[in-house]
């Protein structure tokens, strides 16, 4: 039995999310079915994170165990062949030790949220970014975002369906930057609550358009009440960009 680490890219639009669902297709199911077609084995694929319906990934880390002798190269090629035409790609595969686990060995996760701030329709990025037509002040968003960095009770920014044992998380990084019409919100932490990044971005958007102040955002955090949330951003602009593991260099900030 060999354990293989996979690096996966996918467009989340056709899927109900990463995790297998009884009511629709998932990324996990697509890869598991491709692996079974190659090996004849029932395979379970474990990922570093469980993205929601419509959320994308540029470098999701995952692993699977396979008894059939196969090289990492042939595994990646075979999976990609079986996955077509679904928008899922295996960017790389490598053999790892039996103790390496995509989820439980992970020490950090990174997301980027893309906002396109313009009036003209999205011809190329519809479903892959959140279009906000009114002008946004990215500098005000960046300044306000720093109130969320650190260890806090993020109940306000937590989905009612979140299964985490505690709402207390440590947010290592939350950076807002603008390049032309594109505003990026980069978030890094060991782990996130369900909908945490989307909820933070939604409230930062309110700051950017002048509806909220930095104090309003800090107040929403302090409220520790989901009812204090201003807005939950849509899944379109959210990308899982990196998973961090012990002994590996931390990835550079994403600038898609």
Active site residues: 52
Q: Does the N-terminal peptide bond of residue 85 adopt cis geometry, omega within 30 degrees of 0? A: yes
* Residue showing tokens 């469980």: 50
Query: If we measure between CA atoms, which residue out of 251, 202, 236 comes closest to residue 56?
Result: 236
Cβ atoms < 10 Å from Cβ of 192? 23
SS3 label, residue 233 = coil
52 near 108, Cβ under 8 Å? no
Helices (H), the chain: 27-39, 72-83, 138-145, 196-208, 214-223
Look up residue 156 and give its two tokens. 């306000």
Contact in structure between 216 and 228 (CB atoms under 8 Å): no
Q: 243 by DSSP, 3-state: which? A: strand
Instruction: Report which of 34, 29, 94, 87 is spatially closest to residue 61, judged by C-alpha positions.
Output: 94
Backbone φ/ψ region at 180: left (φ over 0), alpha (ψ -120 to 50), beta: left
Count CB neighbours of 256 within 10 A: 11
């Amino acid at each position: 039995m060999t354990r293989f680490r996979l690096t996966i890219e996918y467009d989340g639009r056709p899927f109900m999310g990463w995790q297998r669902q009884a009511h629709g297709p998932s990324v996990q199911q697509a890869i598991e079915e491709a692996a079974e077609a190659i090996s004849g084995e029932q395979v379970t694929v474990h990922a570093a994170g469980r993205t929601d319906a419509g959320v994308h990934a540029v470098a999701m880390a995952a692993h699977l165990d396979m008894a059939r002798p196969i090289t990492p190269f042939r595994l990646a090629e075979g999976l990609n062949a079986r996955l077509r035409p679904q928008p899922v790609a295996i960017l790389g595969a490598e053999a790892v030790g039996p103790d390496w686990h995509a989820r439980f060995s992970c020490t950090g996760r990174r997301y980027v949220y893309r906002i396109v701030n313009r009036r003209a329709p999205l011809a190329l990025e519809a479903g892959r970014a959140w279009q906000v037509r009114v002008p946004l002040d990215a500098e005000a968003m960046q300044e306000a975002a720093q109130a969320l960095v650190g260890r806090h009770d993020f109940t306000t920014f937590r989905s009612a369906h979140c299964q985490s044992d505690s709402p207390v998380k440590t947010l290592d990084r939350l950076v807002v930057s603008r390049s032309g019409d594109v505003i990026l919100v980069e978030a890094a932490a060991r782990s996130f609550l369900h909908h945490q990044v989307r909820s933070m971005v939604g409230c930062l958007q309110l700051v950017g358009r002048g509806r909220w102040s930095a104090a309003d955002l800090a107040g929403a955090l302090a409220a520790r009440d989901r009812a204090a949330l201003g807005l939950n951003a849509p899944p379109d602009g959210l990308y899982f960009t990196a998973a961090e593991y012990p002994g590996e260099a931390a990835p550079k900030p994403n600038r898609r």
